[in-house]
Homo-oligomer: A and B are copies of this chain.
Amino acid sequence: MTVPEINSWQSVKAEVMRRIVERTWLPGDLVPNEVDLAEEFGVARATVNRAMRDLADAGLLERRRKAGTRVALNPTRKATLEIPITRLEVEQRGAIWRHAILERKETVTPVVVASRLGLPTNTPMLHVRSLHYANNHPFLYEDRWINISAVKGICDVSFQSIDANEWLVQNATFTRGDISFSAANTTKQEAELLEAGVGAAIFVIDRTTWNGDIPVTAVRLAYAPGYRMHTEI
C-alpha cells in the first residue's frame, strides 16, 4: 500500500479534499457524518471534526446540525488579507520608509465623518493627514480622524517619528473594524501629493475601527498608482 496513512487532522482534510476535487463527492452531496468518517479513517471524531471545520471555514463544505455536511454548491472561497503597517510593508519591499505630517489639527467632527463613526458632530477629534514614502517616492496618502476621548494620550503624540497607524495599533487596541476597497481617480491635490497625473487610478482603502461600541478611528488610505494588494487562497 502506497496510500498515505490517515492519522492527523491534516491528512483527514487532505483526503476529504481529494474526494471533492476528484468528484467522488459532488457539489451538493451529503457526506458521511463525523462518527462514520472517524471509523472509516480510524481516527477519533475530534480529529475528523477539526478537519471538517477547517474545510467549512475555507468554504468548501457547508455544515448544519442535524442536516449534516454537504459539499458546497457554490464554494465561495475565502481569501485572507493581511492588513500590514505601512512602514513594514514598505520595508518588506526592500525600500526605505519615511513619512511626513501634512496636517495635525484638533477639531470637531465634520458631518461626513460623524455619520460614518456614529458620533455627534461636536465630538472632539484629531485630524491627521500624512504622506508615506518608499525610497523617497510617494507611496501612500493617509487622511485620518481619531476620536480623542477614545484614545488616551493621543494629544501628546507628535507622530513625527512614528506614524499614526503604528502608534494606534500599539496603543489603542480595537475589537472590530470595517474595511472597504475601491478605485478612484486622483483629485488635483492627491495627484500633486502622490506625484501622479490628475485622474490617475489609485487604490483606496477606507477603514473604520471600534473598541467595543466606541469609535476609535476612521482613515482613508490612497495608494500611489501601481499599487497591488496580493493574497493567496
A interface list, Cβ under 8 A from B: 17, 20-21, 23, 27, 59, 73-85, 88, 166, 169-170, 173, 175-185, 199-204, 211-212, 223, 225-233
User: 12 more A-B contacts (CB under 8 A) besides A178-B233, A184-B201?
Assistant: A23-B173, A74-B84, A75-B169, A78-B80, A80-B80, A177-B232, A177-B233, A179-B233, A180-B229, A181-B229, A182-B227, A185-B200
Q: How far, in angstroms, from A73 to B231 measured CA to CA in the complex?
A: 22
Q: How far, in angstroms, from A78 to B80 measured CA to CA in the complex?
A: 6
Q: How far, in angstroms, from A17 to B176 measured CA to CA in the complex?
A: 12
In the complex, the answer to whether A231 meets B21 with C-beta atoms within 8 Å is no
Instruction: Count this chain's copies in the assembly.
Output: 2
In the complex, the answer to whether B176 meets A232 with C-beta atoms within 8 Å is yes
In the complex, the answer to whether A229 meets B84 with C-beta atoms within 8 Å is no
Residues A185 and B199 in contact in the complex (CB < 8 Å), given A73-B170, A74-B166: yes
How far does the Cβ of A32 sit from chain B's closest Cβ, in whole Å? Answer: 19
- Residue pairs across A and B with Cβ atoms less than 8 A apart, 10 shown, are A21-B175, A73-B170, A74-B170, A77-B83, A77-B177, A176-B233, A177-B233, A181-B229, A182-B203, A182-B227
In the complex, the answer to whether B180 meets A228 with C-beta atoms within 8 Å is yes
In the complex, the answer to whether A173 meets B75 with C-beta atoms within 8 Å is yes
Q: How far, in angstroms, from A135 to B40 measured CA to CA in the complex?
A: 49
Q: How far, in angstroms, from A78 to B204 measured CA to CA in the complex?
A: 18
How far does the Cβ of A142 sit from chain B's closest Cβ, in whole Å? Answer: 17
In the complex, the answer to whether B88 meets A82 with C-beta atoms within 8 Å is no
Q: B residues within 8 A CB of A199?
A: 185, 199, 201
In the complex, the answer to whether B183 meets A233 with C-beta atoms within 8 Å is no
